[in-house]
Structure 1
Amino acid sequence: MTKYPYIKPLTDEEEAEIQKEIAYDPDAPEATDEQIAQAKSFAEVFPDLAESIKRSRGRPQIDNPKEQVSIRLSPDVLKKLKALGRGWQSKVDDILRKAVGL
């Protein structure tokens, strides 16, 4: 049984035919142990190109990131804050900054 029940598993004959075709493919011969031992990474062979296409993942880092905290608020206060609309958490931050004199 396969992970996907709608995909029919290969028969032994089909698998043998696939392996035969792989073995005789002149465009993609199997690498020898010596070739594998001598292999170099893309960045080693083309360092300038590798650097030019390198990209960072995720959002850019900021110097002073906000900290996640958990506080308990009265339901009516929370409802009023959420009524500020999209980005209400940032607006709460602004309100608190003003309240503490920042």
Structure 2
Amino acid sequence: MLLLTLGFGQIAYAQQDPTAPLGWYSKKSSSVAKVKTYALPTLQSVVCDEGAQCFAMLNDNILSEGQSIAGYHVKKITSQRVTLARNGKVWHLALFNSDVRQ
């Protein structure tokens, strides 16, 4: 009889947290919304033609101003950097690091 009582006690303990407030139930993990993140594209090169129109290579794709890649909108391309925008935020991708010293 003692073993039977101890066995039922363990089952009841596993079903409810004894330190939880009264009336509290844990939420299911499936109800948690997952946030989708986008990796910032990698700037590989910039090419400008004689008409001063520039194209950028981002993640092995050649893009011009106004196009999009990986959820980012290409706002501006200059010979030195590319400006990207997404959800009201702006990123400036420089072709070369400004801390380069010779």
Give the TM bin, normalised by the shorter chain. Answer: under 0.3
Using CA pairs below 8 Å that are at least 6 residues apart, which structure has the higher relative contact order? Answer: 2
With normalisation by structure 1, the TM-score equals 0.21
Query: Which protein has the bigger helix share?
Result: 1
Query: Which protein has the bigger strand share?
Result: 2
